[in-house]
Amino acid sequence: MKEEILVLGGGVIGLATAFSLSRRGFEVTVLEKKACGGQASGAAAGMLAPFSEISEDPDPFFAFCLESLRMFKRWQQDIKDASGIDFEYTESGSIHAVYHESDILSLESRIDWQKEFGSEAEIIDGARLESLEPNLSDEVVAAIHSNEESHVFAPDYVKALKIACENNGVTIIENTGTVLIESWRSAPVLKTSNGQTYTGDRLVICSGAWAQELEDVFEIRLPVFPIRGQICAYELGQENVNHIVTTSQGYLVPKSNGTLVNGASEDIAGFATDVTKKGIERLVNWNKRILPFLKTKTPFHTWAGLRPATQDGFPLLGPLDDSPHIIFATGHYRNGILLSARTGEAVADIISDNPLDSPTQAAFHPERFM
Ligand code: FAD
Ligand code: GLY
């Protein structure tokens, strides 16, 4: 008989997990409090950009992100094939711009360690930089140009994932209210707010920024915190932006629908998802120094989402030691869209008795904060 897997949470991580499990023949049920993709996942800029986002030394998290980036071309095609939805996936490459000569040193050290991971990124300036990104500010003195980074239109990607899951036979139940875990030491039993119960052989926790609510249930520390990201979008009009453009102060991502997505703040505001004047003004003021044509433009849309941050910056990914039928997959902070491919496959591997390699397993162990 097929094993039955319950997935708690219908964000990108829960849906990617369900997709990977379903194509390996497991029976999967996803339980989502509200609407799938309605939280962090639908709010994301959709960058698949580990070289731009992780500037410090390499660690298991960077390696995991890079594996996911390199899986994505195939992964997104699999989801398009399974869903019949042609969401945006653009291999735009990226420009990481700096404003001071002294910052070029840090670009050089970043490039040096990233080369060891096969990056072909290079530092560019002058005419080369201008030809690649003509609308970039003259204040920019140099940039890293990476060909490898790409992006998806996150809301459409998540919608496609949901349909791909359904087409693969996954049962998706939305608007469940907060699902409670009634028992888990043997076969897990979950209860929705209207009293419906669901039983499975295994449970995968993909509850994003809400994972800490489960500390009392599992009697372990789960230091996952919501970090609000405020973000906005412009209509592009005649102006061209060719790459993902990042600076120390924010990023701009040109989408194929003619919009330019611009993020994002990192605020501690509990579970509030409202947008503040201060949060968006900071982005808008900085944009003038990145793409000066934005001086005359105002964002037509603003929104916010809650990134699931962990105490040490690494996700919680893997089974509980004494209850290996309970698997965590949460805490992907700024990179959950990027990590969806690798995470989905990792959970399906774990459930298929193919665990993560030992260093990664130790770094992401859900019980490491005990
Ligand atoms: P979520 O999408 O939040 O999903 C968790 C789900 O679990 C929610 O839908 C919630 O309702 C449900 N849930 C929780 N508890 C329960 C319960 N008890 N019962 C039932 N349901 C429950 N990442 C990138 O890779 N690239 C980017 O460019 C990028 N940009 C971002 C920009 C912004 C502004 C933000 C906010 C985030 C961005 N991220 C980006 C990060 C990315 O969005 C997150 O890492 C990712 O969405 C996390 O996915 P998730 O499924 O864990 O969480
Ligand atoms: N990864 C972009 C963000 O979290 O804002």
Phi, psi of 189 (to 5 degrees): -125, 125
Which CA distances in Å does 82 have to 19, 86, 294?
9, 11, 39
Ligand approaching nearest to the C-alpha of 157: 1
Interatomic CA distance for residues 201 and 185, integer angstroms: 11
Interatomic CA distance for residues 55 and 176, integer angstroms: 39
CA angle 98, 94, 291 (to 5 degrees): 55
Domain ranges of the chain: 4-82+154-223+311-364, 92-149+225-310
Interatomic CA distance for residues 343 and 206, integer angstroms: 11
Give 337 Cα–ligand 2 centroid separation in angstroms. 9
- Peptide bond preceding 43 in cis form (omega within 30 of 0): no
The protein residue with its alpha carbon nearest to ligand 2, atom 1, reads 334
Give 174 Cα–ligand 1 centroid separation in angstroms. 15
Ligand 2 cavity residues, CB under 6 Å: 45, 47, 53, 229, 263-264, 307, 334
The pLDDT of residue 2: 86
Give 159 Cα–ligand 1 centroid separation in angstroms. 14
Ligand 1 cavity residues, CB under 6 Å: 8-14, 31-34, 38-41, 43-47, 176, 178-179, 206-210, 229, 231, 263-264, 305, 307-308, 330, 332-338
The protein residue with its alpha carbon nearest to ligand 2, atom 5, reads 264
Give 73 Cα–ligand 2 centroid separation in angstroms. 20
Phi, psi of 29 (to 5 degrees): -125, 125
Give 45 Cα–ligand 2 centroid separation in angstroms. 7
The answer to whether domain 92-149+225-310 has CATH 3.30.9.10 is yes
The pLDDT of residue 87: 98
The protein residue with its alpha carbon nearest to ligand 2, atom 3, reads 334
The protein residue with its alpha carbon nearest to ligand 2, atom 2, reads 334
Place of tokens 């005359």: 296
SS3 per residue for 194-227? CCCEEECCEEEECCHHHHHHHHHHHCCCCCEEEE
Give 67 Cα–ligand 1 centroid separation in angstroms. 20
Which CA distances in Å does 165 have to 24, 114, 207?
12, 35, 18
Interatomic CA distance for residues 158 and 258, integer angstroms: 20
The pLDDT of residue 123: 97
Phi, psi of 321 (to 5 degrees): -60, -50
Give 344 Cα–ligand 1 centroid separation in angstroms. 14
Q: What is the greatest pairwise CA distance in the chain?
A: 65
8 Å CB contact between 332 and 308: yes
| DSSP assignment string, 224-268 | EEEEEEEEEEEE-TT----SEEEETTEEEEE-TTSEEEEE---B-
Nearest C-alpha neighbor of 252 from the set 266, 267, 272, 231: 231
Tokens of 127: 């005419």
Q: Which atom of ligand 2 is nearest to the CA of 337?
A: 1
Residue 323, judged by CB atoms within 10 A of its CB (0-12, 13-18, 19+), counts as middle
Interatomic CA distance for residues 361 and 43, integer angstroms: 29
Ligand approaching nearest to the C-alpha of 337: 1
The pLDDT of residue 325: 98
DSSP structural state of residue 286: H
Name residue 204's amino acid: V
- What does pTM read for this prediction? 0.98
8 Å CB contact between 61 and 54: yes
- For the chain, first and last CA: distance in Å? 36
Q: Is residue 164 within a helix (H) or strand (E), and if so which, with residue range?
A: helix 154-167
8 Å CB contact between 199 and 231: no
The CATH homologous superfamily for domain 4-82+154-223+311-364 is: FAD/NAD(P)-binding domain (3.50.50.60)
Interatomic CA distance for residues 224 and 318, integer angstroms: 15
8 Å CB contact between 104 and 148: no
Ligand approaching nearest to the C-alpha of 158: 1
Residue of 48, 53, 68 best suited for mutating to test ligand 2, as the one with most atoms within 8 Å of CB = 53
The protein residue with its alpha carbon nearest to ligand 1, atom 36, reads 305
Give 261 Cα–ligand 2 centroid separation in angstroms. 11
Q: How many CA atoms lie within 13 A of 263 on its CB side?
A: 23
The pLDDT of residue 57: 79
Give 216 Cα–ligand 2 centroid separation in angstroms. 30
pLDDT in tens, the chain (370 residues): 789 999 999 999 999 999 999 999 999 999 999 999 999 999 999 999 999 998 777 899 999 999 999 999 999 999 999 999 999 999 999 999 999 999 999 999 999 999 999 999 999 999 999 999 999 999 999 999 999 999 999 999 999 999 999 999 999 999 999 999 999 999 999 999 999 999 999 999 999 999 999 999 999 999 999 999 999 999 999 999 999 999 999 999 999 999 999 999 999 999 999 999 999 999 999 999 999 999 999 999 999 999 999 999 999 999 999 999 999 999 999 999 999 999 999 999 999 999 999 999 999 999 999 7
DSSP structural state of residue 25: T
Give 233 Cα–ligand 2 centroid separation in angstroms. 14
Q: Which atom of ligand 1 is nearest to the CA of 265?
A: 34
Q: Beta strand pairing status for 27-31 and 224-235?
A: unpaired
